Amino acid sequence: MSAPDPWARLAAMTPARVRLRAGMAPVSMADLLTFQQDHAAARDAIHGAVDWTALARALNPLPVLHAASAASDRATYLRRPDLGRKLAQGDLPHDAPPLLIVVGDGLSAPAVMAQAAPLVHALVRRLPELDGRPVVLARGARVALGDAIGQAMGAEMVLMLIGERPGLSVADSLGAYLTRAPRIGLRDSARNCVSNIHMNGGLDHEAAADRLLWLITEARRIDATGVALKDDSDAATALPGARS
Q: What is the pLDDT of residues 119-176, one digit of tens each?
A: 999 999 999 999 999 999 999 999 999 999 999 999 999 999 999 999 888 999 999 9
pLDDT band at residue 35 using 50, 70 and 90 as cut-offs: confident
pLDDT band at residue 105 using 50, 70 and 90 as cut-offs: very high
Q: How many residues are present in the chain?
A: 244
pTM of structure = 0.88
Beta-carbon contacts of residue 167 (< 8 Å; ≥ 6 apart): 16, 42, 173
- Backbone angle region of 240, left / alpha / beta, with phi > 0 → left and psi within -120 to 50 → alpha: beta
State which fold the 52-237 domain adopts. Rossmann fold (3.40.50)
Q: Work out the mean pLDDT of the chain and round it to a whole number.
A: 91
Would you tell me how many other CB atoms lie within 10 Å of the CB of residue 176? 26
Closest by CA to 83, choosing from 94, 67, 72, 96, is 72
Q: What percent of the chain has pLDDT over 70?
A: 91
Would you tell me how many other CB atoms lie within 10 Å of the CB of residue 201? 11
